[in-house]
């Protein structure tokens, strides 16, 4: 089972095991990771599951589609490392993924 590390803005870390097929957002929600609000429930209709992917992972993830790019315009301080966790489907290849939460979700 892949392991994902969520790092809060204050530095607190949460390592969670995630079943293949879930989204990274579902992993955070199901494990009560603070900082991922997921107001739209994973429909890519908000930006409240925004994270910064660790730079070592940015090239290993699938490309952002147009809808994710558009929603990231509404995220708190987006960067080239920004992703919406609802759009990242967990596979065995994501074992070890590290994501950092922004200061806040909007």
pLDDT in tens, 15-64: 999 999 999 999 999 999 999 999 999 999 999 999 999 999 999 999 99
Q: Would you tell me how many other CB atoms lie within 10 Å of the CB of residue 33?
A: 23
Q: Which domains does the chain have, with CATH numbers?
A: 3-100 (3.10.20.30)
Which residues, at least 6 apart from 25, have a Cβ–Cβ distance to it below 8 Å?
Answer: 36, 38, 42, 49, 84, 85, 86, 88
Q: pLDDT tens across 74-100, in order?
A: 999 999 999 999 999 999 999 999 999
How far apart, in whole angstroms, are the C-alpha atoms of residue 57 and residue 11? 19
């Amino acid at each position: 089972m892949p392991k994902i590390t969520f790092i809060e803005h204050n530095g607190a870390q949460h390592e969670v095991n995630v079943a293949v097929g879930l989204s990274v957002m579902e992993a955070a929600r199901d494990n009560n990771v603070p900082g991922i609000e997921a107001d739209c429930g994973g429909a890519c209709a908000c930006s409240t599951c925004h994270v910064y992917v660790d730079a070592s992972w940015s090239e290993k993830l699938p490309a952002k589609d147009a809808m994710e790019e558009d929603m990231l315009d509404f995220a708190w301080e987006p960067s080239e490392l920004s992703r919406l966790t609802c759009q990242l489907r967990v596979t065995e290849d994501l074992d070890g993924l590290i994501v950092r939460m922004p200061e806040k979700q909007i």
